[in-house]
Structure 1
Amino acid sequence: MINNKARWQPALLAASVSAALQGMAHAQSVPPTPDNTDGQVQEVVVTAQRTASLESRTPVAMSVLTGEQLRQAGLDQPSALAARLPNVHLDGAAAALKITIRGVTNADTTEKGDPSAAFMVDGVYLARPTQQNLSFYDVDRIEVLRGPQGTLYGRNTTAGAINVITNAPSRQLEGAVGVELGDYASRKVNAMLNVPVNDALALRAAVAANRHDSYLINGQGTPYTLGLDRDDVSGRLSAKLTLSPAASLLLRADHSSVRDNSDRIVPDTNFYHGVASGQPTWYDASTDQRLTNGFVPPNTRPEQGYDHKTTTGLSAELAWDLGPATVTWLGAHRRFDNHVLFNYYYRVKPTFAIGVHQNFDGVNTQDSHELRVATNGNGPLSAQAGLYYFREETNTLYTFRDLALLGLPPYYVFPTGPTIARSKAVFGQATWRLTDRLRATAGVRYTSDDKSRVGSTNFQQGPVFNPATDFKLLNAADLDTHKNTWRLGLDYDVTPTTFAYATLSTGYKAGGFNDGCLAGSSALGIPCPAALAVPASTLYYQPETLTSREAGLKTRFWDKRASLNLAVFDYDYRNLQLSGVAIVRGAPQYVTTNAGVASVKGLEADGQINPTIDDRISYGLTLLDAHYVSYTPDGVHSWAGTKLDRAPSNTVTAGYEHRFLLASGQLRAGIVARRSAAYIIGVPTQQLRYTIPARTASDATVRYQPSGAPWSVQAQVRNLENKVQPIAIDSFGMVVPSDPRTIAVRFDYRY
């Protein structure tokens, strides 16, 4: 049996756990943070507006999950969060994270595409969706902002923004170790150690390792393992240096290694009949049947798939309090290496599919800098302004094999590089206190983006290009776009515990280009004659823009034992960037086009109720009408009125937790369930619309902690119903299914 999985790095884990345990041996037990004894809904401090404020006083529709909430719910990667977030889908589709917020999404995860939602770690933007489905460990909180954030966060935020904020070094000696075991051979280990070295320096180290076997069943008759598995090791070292009473420097270095399997797919016929007729119809089947890849290619044999990723990041944040204002500089460098072998299910005709092997090798580097000045104090005016610079460079090599039935040579190859993206921006936002209770906000950002790429489409007889037998088509383009995004808002303290706001804001996603070249151009020694060129309207696609009108209310009532967050919104959404595979010049290519106009309207309500100090109820309701107003994917058939992807008309979420006080400690038991209406995943290039039926998914947790003890143990079941559904469907008929039911037991020790 071939197995390309790398083993965990035992030396790294052993050293980290040993360090934490040695620290525990010299420290006294510290009891956990005491429970809220008054039953009030706890406040959370956020930085959604780039300055600290209470979440209940921040004029943005947002959700916040603290590190403790993540740990207790067993949420350790982005794709696990969506069940707790209103109007949000976070799907680990193929090898990348697909973010959908209020029906606004993106399908192009290649080096030339951009996401619709900004994903950040400690304020550093991660450009590639393939980098974003990372492990959560030693996290302080996660802030999910819904709606365009074009002023303070910039481009690629038409859907919203997600910021993962990790714990910084503190002045307290502390440590933690967690171990989890579950079905599918799941095992997880994490450790953290925080050491105050002296009055000026504090260090913090954290590591995590996660592994489980594949959720898929191999019905292909091969000895190979399939995907939907996990095998990753991550570590982070942070240092906080106090330079003076007014200045500090925070340094972070992180590294992660992933050795999982790229073959995360099953054919769409595992879920649907009628695909060949253009009318996919859902049918009943068992979960095992859904998760079985029984496709036997008629033209080739599968190979052992793999997906090897390595990520390294360095960042520095300098904060200097000058009295009237604080100056902050945040700089970062990141590198991402990715090597993949993927076995495709490739439908070439409505009733016929072949097997295709894809090899991919890519290296991505990015550098970013932001300089920001924000006023201090409680005067009538608060303001911030800044400069931003971002540069990304990517070199990739895509190789496709076994496409002979399409009339292509044995190797269909896309060497690309460099692809370079630069973004520069200047921004500012100010809030005026008009009265003691009423404030007005105005902000603007100017962004200039330029992208360029050189590469080729190669038709080769062998793995290496031979000028005597092979030929190339040029892929070369460059595009400059710029945009002003802005925000206007009013917020008002209705009562000391009720806050209302209204905003008018915009978002922007940069334009880009497809494969091909303009007539008369040349690069890499390859000319672009008119006979092989593509028109500019095919080569380029335009920026995506969104204008949002939103009003919201955040309130605490019943002596602050209950909360309600309410938002209503209306979007004017233009030039949607939609992607899929199309046949261009007789060969398949991944093409992005603009989709006209869409309308998005909705309502979100969520909150918490604490009837007693031992009972907690969470609730949520979303209503959403997100559809195309004008869009003809093939120039003939109109999709006007068709829902946007992953935009259910309603969802309902409810959770309940009870604390049992025992003689020896406390036991918490809870359940959370989410009911989603049906929604659509569309494949415009194939004129297909797949309906995902309505579904309820539930998670249950039981957690025990002895009185005054530094340890706890918990058991968790996720997806009690054990139902799966597609989370992504591509142009070839490949489906990435959701996870089946999983069970795990976890032990945590903290001091």
Structure 2
Amino acid sequence: MKNRVLTSTAMALAMLAMPAHAQTADETQTDTTGEDATTAQQQPRGGLNEIIVTAQRREETLQDAAIPINAASGEELTRSGVADVTQLNKVAPALYVPEAGGANVGYFVRGVGNFANNGYTNPAVAFNLDGVYIGRPSSTVASFLDVNRVEVLKGPQGTLYGRNATGGAVNVIPNIPRLGVTEGSVSAQYGNYDALEFNGVVNVPLGDSAAARFAGAWTDRDGYYSDGTGAAENLALRGQVLFDLSPDIDLRLSADYSTSKGTGPGLDVDGVYTFSPFTPNATVPNWQFVPSPANVSEPFTGLFAQQTLDFIENNATAAPLYSPVTGYAYPFRDDEYWGVNAEFNADLGFADLVIIPAYRQSRLDNLFNGAPFKAGINQDMAEQFSVEGRLSGYAGPLEWLVGAYYFDENVEGVNSYNQFSTVSLQEFDTSTESSAIFARGSFSVTDDFRIVGGIRYTDENRSIDALSVAIAGVCLIQPVAGPPSCPQVPTIPVGLTLEDTISQLDPALFPAGSPLTRPSPYGTFPYGPFGPTGPQALLIVTPTQIDRTASDDQVTWRAALEYDVTPDNLLYASFETGFRAGGFNLTFGQEEYDPEYIDAYTIGAKNSFFDNRLQVNLEAFYWDYTGQQLAALGVDDRGNNSFYTRNVGESSIKGFEVDFQALVTQSTVLRGGVQYLDATFDRFVYEQVDLSDATDPPNFLTPVTGCDYTQNLTPQRTFTIDCSGKQALNAPKWTVNLGLQQTFAMRDYEIIATVDGRYRSNRIIGFNYLPTGNSGDDITLDASISLVPYDKGFTAGVFVRNLTNEAMPSLYQLGAANVASVKYEPPRTFGVRVGFQF
């Protein structure tokens, strides 16, 4: 790692040593880097305001960007209650970001994505903060601090961005320092769940040619769940300094630090899938769903409510130990992130040069329960170095850009996943080194018609050195009727390592000696009190060593046509390819997975009518998705529970999206959008080990799934699970947004009142396609009233989110003992906010 960082630093210094000639201070506020500026939030063009975006590495209005994109300014995000990535669906209907356990979040765009990302997987949707790709998508807590705007790009990002992404990209652009300006703001907010929030921003000039900007936020709230889970306490700080080194050169330095504490997301228990062989009316073949009672399934009850724990203990047993399912460990988060980055801009006369070096580090220390584990523990340390250089300019009718990118990431982790009868203990060290060169050109055939092309070559090398230790308790007491039962044998304690785990057990439970007293801790050990015929159970400890290297290289490209029918009406059509590299699993028999690929066809139109009092944008799309990677809980080839990524098949994703804004009067704005999405798995097939043996009848211990399956008896007993034809995950057929903003003018202030509604049709939110794993339809309403000064001064506002207190499931998972859990988006929240701008 050290040598790679030194090499990368040398590359960055070599780039910086190139001849330089830069922009003026005013130009810095609206440069072509994609990471601009305080003044570029919204620009009027008569009628409706428009957001300036830089998603194509050049400054243009949202209406002039001939790509599939949603964008929102910082003010709009605040009014909409978007304080983190999980709420971005409010402004980008195609994007879903469900929370998993601990610091893990999943990213989906139109069914392309993963439920969660761990220390050795990569997201399908790239997250970019201030122009820097974030390798670990959990480390985004400081991203929504002093935000200028957020851009959500839909579809593969295979030509312009730092890392390849098949689903899309989320670009969070903060406000940057402003030269010659002293300004700032402070605010405080209080709401239900004892939610406190304090924010502060200050911009100060440092002479005539430099400025600094500092921002900070602290938030704290009680948990949404009655058991106290879902609580959060976050701190975020960012400091920036901008230097106008000459009329043609500027340099911006930035550093940020953040922490995430609390319990992490909570969960509710929906019921238990119990083994019911050859039951004709079973919920799925051989498995009967036992729903939890109303006082348990009521949204936001929580896993640790006493009635929930009683229900699990009375209805669930975790194979293969079959001891009481008790002793869930209470969750916590204590995660820390920091990073530094720079942006160097130079006007070379013939071209503009941009260089962005960055270093980031994240440290995770959290314990979580979802899917319902006794405990999942993550202690990861990730560090990344990246540098991107771009050169852009004009040559007659050709607008051109060339660039290079280098990314180096190392993640070291110690993880533990305890499911009562089985435990997976993991120690890993992974490295990823990705290099790319790219180019883009836009050729103006006429003043109104352009041909656009882009190409990128990516070379990625990765390695892993890991040890995964599986512990399984196996009950030996077999009653005449019914399943095995070992009520006197304790389940496996929660520990981070093998020694931590085994040392918590009474040595008397190992009549032949503890694994820790043997020359090797691996093997099979009598476990538990002796019964009439010997030990009641066995403890089996199995190591899996993974030491591998792999590489992928790929050319991705984009071709597009753009036609300005009028200065206010744009038509475009594009084809773009995308790819996401393969990777490793800490799972026996599934140690590697292959790359995935996507081809995206888009036809769109962006229109302004009636002197820009009405904007109507249309997009029709078709994506061909192959080699699809999907990370989820499963069973490895030894029968041990595991979380791993599989290449499950291919999808056809098609539909359309329409969004509009209308300035009904000078003080009334009506806005909305509709997305229709038909995302279907053309092929979704994977293998799962069959835990039955030759003495069992065919199709006996079948998988818990709502998909079709076929039992294979040779060469190894497995099931082929086939979910082909199913709706893609987190891909609702219909999404409809409708909002109204009314402004009331006063002498020194204006009052801005907003009401926003959202409808989403049913979504598949669980990997297993269980009949209970659907979200159902939901309709939500948000409202706010804000008092805003025309210039500077006092600000105030009140808000309510999810006014009807709709329970909106976001993730459905089976955990230990086939306990089914559901996570929810936030319930109704409301509060008041006051502040002062100066």
Shared fold, TM over 0.5 = yes
In structure 2, the partner of 1:23 is none
Write out per-residue CA displacement over residues 677-724 of structure 1, whole angstroms, 9 at most, x where no aligned residue: 11212324x867722111101101111246665222110000011012
Q: How many residue pairs were aligned?
A: 678
Report the counterpart of residue 605 of structure 2 in structure 1.
553
Distance 1:448 1:93 in 2: 31
Distance 2:591 2:213 in 1: 48
Q: Does 1:308 align with 2:319?
A: no
Q: CA deviation at 1:381?
A: 0.5
Give the structure 2 partner of residue 351 of structure 1: none
Match of 1:390 in 2: 407
Q: Do the aligned residues in 2 keep the contact of 1:86 with 1:604 (CA within 8 Å)?
A: no
Distance 1:279 1:723, change over 3 A: farther
In the other structure, the counterpart of 1:541 is 593
Of 183, 203, 211 in structure 1, the residue corresponding to residue 220 of structure 2 is 211
- 1:265 maps to what in 2? 267
Q: Which moved more, 1:105-114 or 1:440-449?
A: 105-114
Provide the rounded CA distance (Å) in 2 between the counterparts of 1:74 and 1:270: 35
Compute the displacement of 1:738 (Å).
Answer: 1.2
CA RMSD of aligned residues (A): 2.8
Contact 2:649-2:683 within 8 A present in 1 as well? yes
Q: Describe the shift of the 1:283–1:401 C-alpha distance in structure 2 as closer, same or farther (beyond 3 A).
A: closer
State which drifts further: 178-187 or 590-599. Answer: 590-599
Tell me the CA shift for residue 575 of structure 1.
Answer: 0.7
Equivalent in the alignment of 2:367: 341
Residues of 2 paired with 1:343 and 1:572: CA distance?
36
1:447-596 aligned within 5 A: 447-458=458-469, 459=471, 460=498, 462-463=500-501, 466=516, 468-471=519-522, 472-516=543-587, 534=589, 538-584=590-636, 585-596=638-649
What one-letter code is carried by the residue in structure 2 that aligns with 1:207? G
Question: Equivalent residue of 1:56, what SS?
Answer: helix
| Correspondence for 1:739 | 826
CA displacement at 1:344 relative to structure 2: 5.2
SS in 1 for 2:764: strand
1:221 matched residue in structure 2: none
For 2:286 and 2:661, locate their aligned partners in 1 and report how far apart those are by CA, in whole Å. Answer: 47
Q: From the superposition, tell whether residues 344 and 620 of structure 1 become closer, same or farther in structure 2 (CA, over 3 Å).
A: closer
Change (3 A) 1:689 1:321: farther
* Mapping for residues 23-422 of structure 1, pairs under 5 Å: 40-94=47-101, 95-134=103-142, 136-153=144-161, 155-171=163-179, 172-218=181-227, 225-226=228-229, 228-262=230-264, 264-269=266-271, 274=283, 289-293=298-302, 294=305, 295-296=308-309, 298-343=324-369, 346=372, 356-376=374-394, 379-401=396-418, 403=420, 405-406=421-422, 412-416=424-428, 418-422=429-433
The TM-score, its normalising length taken from structure 2, stands at 0.77
For 2:121, what is the secondary structure of its paired residue?
coil
Label 1:594 to 1:412 Cα distance change in 2 as closer, same or farther (>3 A). Answer: closer
Counterpart amino acid of residue 615 in structure 2 = S
Offset of residue 212 of structure 1: 0.7
Change (3 A) 1:195 1:586: same
* Greater displacement, 82-91 / 616-625: 82-91
Shift of 1:603: 0.2
Say which SS state the counterpart of residue 66 (structure 2) adopts.
coil
2:803 and 2:297 map into 1 onto residues whose CA distance is 15
Give secondary structure in 1 for the equivalent of 2:77. Answer: helix
> Deviation per CA, 1:408-429, whole angstroms, max 9, x where unpaired?
xxx642111x211111101001
Aligned equivalents of 1:283 and 1:677: distance in 2?
25
Deviations 1:136-173 (A, max 9, x none): 12111111111111111154411111110011110211
Gapped regions of structure 2 (runs ≥ 5): 1-38, 275-281, 314-323, 472-497, 504-514, 523-542, 688-718
Distance in 2, matches of 1:188 and 1:650, equals: 34
Residues 490 and 722 from structure 1, CA distance in 2 versus in 1: closer, same or farther, beyond 3 angstroms?
same
What do residues 468-518 of structure 1 show as CA deviations (whole Å, max 9, x unaligned)? 35133212222101111100000010011001110000111110122257x
In structure 1, the residue matched to 2:455 is 444
- The offset of 1:300, in angstroms, is 3.5
CA distance in 2: counterparts of 1:608 and 1:280, whole angstroms: 46
1:489-548, Cα deviation, whole Å (9 max, x unpaired):
00010011001110000111110122257xxxxxxxxxxxxxxxx4xxx32211111001
For 1:158, what is the secondary structure of its paired residue?
coil
2:785 equivalent in structure 1: 702
Provide structure 1 residue ranges, at least 5 long, that are not aligned to the other structure.
1-31, 219-224, 347-354, 518-533
Counterpart selection for 2:438 from 419, 427, 433: 427
Secondary structure of the 1:132 match is coil
Distance 2:284 2:262 in 1: 30
For residue 564 of structure 1, give the secondary structure of its aligned residue in structure 2. Answer: strand
Task: Provide TM-score, normalisation by structure 1.
Answer: 0.85
User: Which protein shows a greater Rg?
Assistant: 2
CA contact (8 A) 2:273 2:288 kept: no
- How far apart in 1 are the matches of 2:740 and 2:759? 15
Tell me the secondary structure at the aligned position of residue 731 of structure 2: coil
**Could you tell me which residue of structure 2 aligns to residue 715 of structure 1?**
798
Contact 1:280 1:690 in 2 (8 A): no
For 2:292 and 2:781, how far apart are their aligned partners in 1? 22
Give the distance between the partners of 2:812 and 2:347, measured in 1 at CA.
Answer: 50
Matched, 1:613 2:666: yes
Cα distance change on mapping 1:706 and 1:199 into 2, 3 Å? closer
TM superposition shift of 1:674: 0.6
Contact 1:701 1:717 in 2 (8 A): yes
Residues 323 and 696 (structure 1), Cα distance of their counterparts in 2 relative to 1, 3 Å cut? same
Q: Please tell me whether the aligned partners of residues 36 and 613 of structure 1 are also in contact (alpha carbons under 8 angstroms).
A: no
| Partner residue of 2:735 out of 644, 651, 668 | 651
8 Å contact 1:39–1:613 — kept in the other structure?
Answer: no
The whole-number CA distance in structure 2 between the counterparts of 1:173 and 1:706 is 17
Distance 1:162 1:373 in 2: 23
Asked if structure 2 preserves the Cα contact closer than 8 Å seen for 1:79 and 1:133, the reply is: no
Whole-Å separation in 1 of the counterparts to 2:617 and 2:558: 21
> Aligned AA for 1:608?
Q
Q: In the TM superposition, what is the alpha-carbon distance from 1:39 to its structure 2 partner?
A: 6.8
Alpha-carbon deviation of 1:276?
A: 8.9
Q: CA deviation at 1:196?
A: 0.8
Which residue of structure 2 aligns with residue 21 of structure 1?
Answer: none
Rounded Cα–Cα distance in structure 2 between residues aligned with 1:707 and 1:579: 50
**Alignment partner, residue 521 of structure 1:** none
Q: Give the SS at the match of 2:86.
A: helix
Give the Å deviation of 1:132: 3.0
More divergent stretch after superposition (490-499 vs 48-57): 48-57
Q: Per the alignment, do residues 621 and 344 of structure 1 end up closer, same or farther by CA in structure 2, a change over 3 Å counting?
A: closer
CA gap 1:37/1:52 in 2 versus in 1, 3 angstroms: closer
For 2:43 and 2:242, how far apart are their aligned partners in 1? Answer: 30
Name the % identity.
Answer: 29
SS in 1 for 2:165: coil
Per-residue CA deviation, residues 335-383 of structure 1 (Å, 9 max, x unaligned), is 000101224564xxxxxxxx51232211000000011111158x30111
- Aligned partners of 2:452 and 2:559 also within 8 Å: yes
Provide the secondary structure at the position in 2 that maps to 1:576. strand
Deviations 1:590-646 (A, max 9, x none): 221112210000100002001111101001011110010012234634322201011
- SS of 2:90's equivalent in the other structure is helix
Greater shift in the superposed pair: 260-269 or 651-660:
260-269
